[in-house]
Structure 1
Amino acid sequence: MKLIVEILLTGLAVFIGARYLVPGVTVDGFGTAVVAAILIALANATIGLILRVLTFPINFLTLGLVSFIITVMMILLVDNMMIGFNTSGFWAAAILAIVVALIKAVFGAIGGTEKD
C-alpha cells in the first residue's frame, strides 16, 4: 500500500511540476505523469545505479553533482521513451528534477513518516 501511495505522490509531483511550474515540460495528464514517474524511478534504479557506481570517485569529488546530472539524464531518457511526456532540453529536465524533489519533500513533511 505504501508503494502505491509513493508512486501516486511522485506522479502528482511530476504532474504539478510539468503542468504548472516548469516551462518547457509538458505532460498529457495525471496518468501519463504517473507512468513517467514509474519509468524515471525504474531508470534511476537500474541504469542510474550502474552509472552512479561507475562515477563514484567523480561524484564524491563534486559532492553529488554527478548524481544529479545522472537523474536529469534519466528524465531525458524517459522523455525519449514516452509520447505524452516531453521536455524541451537539459535545463528544463534539471528544473523539473529540482521541483519534483522539493514537492516530494513537502509531501513528506505534510504526511510525516511512519515506522513499520
Structure 2
Amino acid sequence: MHGWVLRWLLNILAIIITAAIIPGFDLTIWGAIVGSVFLGVCNAVIRPVIILLTLPLNILSLGLFTFIINGFMLYLTSATIKGFTIHGFWWAVLSAILLSIVSFIISYFIKDKVFYLR
C-alpha cells in the first residue's frame, strides 16, 4: 500500500474517532471520506496563507493561535461538505485540538517508510 493511501485512511480514522468523542461533531462515512480529502486540500492550499497572514498573532500566542486556524479549516470543511457537520466554531476548535491529538497517537504507532536518496 502506498504511503499516501495509508496516511489518508488513518486521517479518516482520526476524523471518525474525533466525531465519536465530540458531541458537536456529526459525521457520516461519506462525509468522513470526502471531508478528509477536502480538509487535506484546505490544509495544503488555504492554511499556509492564513498562517502567514496571522504570523504576528501566532508569535504572540506562542503558536496557540494555530489551533484556531485548524478549527477554522474544520469549520470551512463543515460548511462545504454534506455529512461533515460541526455545530459551531468553538466545537470546530475543540475538534481540531482532539483531531491533532488522535492523529499524533496514530502516527506514533504507524511509521511511514522513508527512502533516502544517497
Q: Do they superpose with TM above 0.5?
A: yes
Q: Does 1:34 align with 2:26?
A: no
Residue 115 of structure 1: aligned partner:
114
**Deviation digits for residues 5-50 of structure 1 (CA, Å, limit 9, x no counterpart):** 11110111101111x2000110111x32122122112112211111
For structure 2, the residue ranges without an aligned partner over 5 or more in a row are none
Contact 2:75 2:86 in 1 (8 A): yes
Residue 25 of structure 1: aligned partner:
25
> Displacement, 1:83?
1.1
Farther-moved stretch of structure 1 (105-114 vs 58-67): 105-114
- Moved segments of 4+, more than 4 Å: none
Residue 87 of structure 1: aligned partner:
86
Taking the aligned partners of 1:2 and 1:79, their CA distance within structure 2 comes to: 26
Per the alignment, in what secondary structure is the counterpart of residue 93 of structure 1? helix
TM-score (norm 1): 0.89
Contact 1:87 1:93 in 2 (8 A): yes
Taking the aligned partners of 2:77 and 2:26, their CA distance within structure 1 comes to: 13
> What RMSD over aligned residues (CA atoms) do the two structures have, in Å?
1.3
Contact 2:3 2:112 in 1 (8 A): no
Task: State the percentage of identical aligned residues.
Answer: 30
Counterpart mapping for 1:1-116 below 5 A: 1-18=2-19, 20-29=20-29, 31-116=30-115
Taking the aligned partners of 1:64 and 1:11, their CA distance within structure 2 comes to: 25
TM-score (norm 2): 0.88
Taking the aligned partners of 1:34 and 1:42, their CA distance within structure 2 comes to: 13
Alignment-mate amino acid for residue 95 of structure 2: L
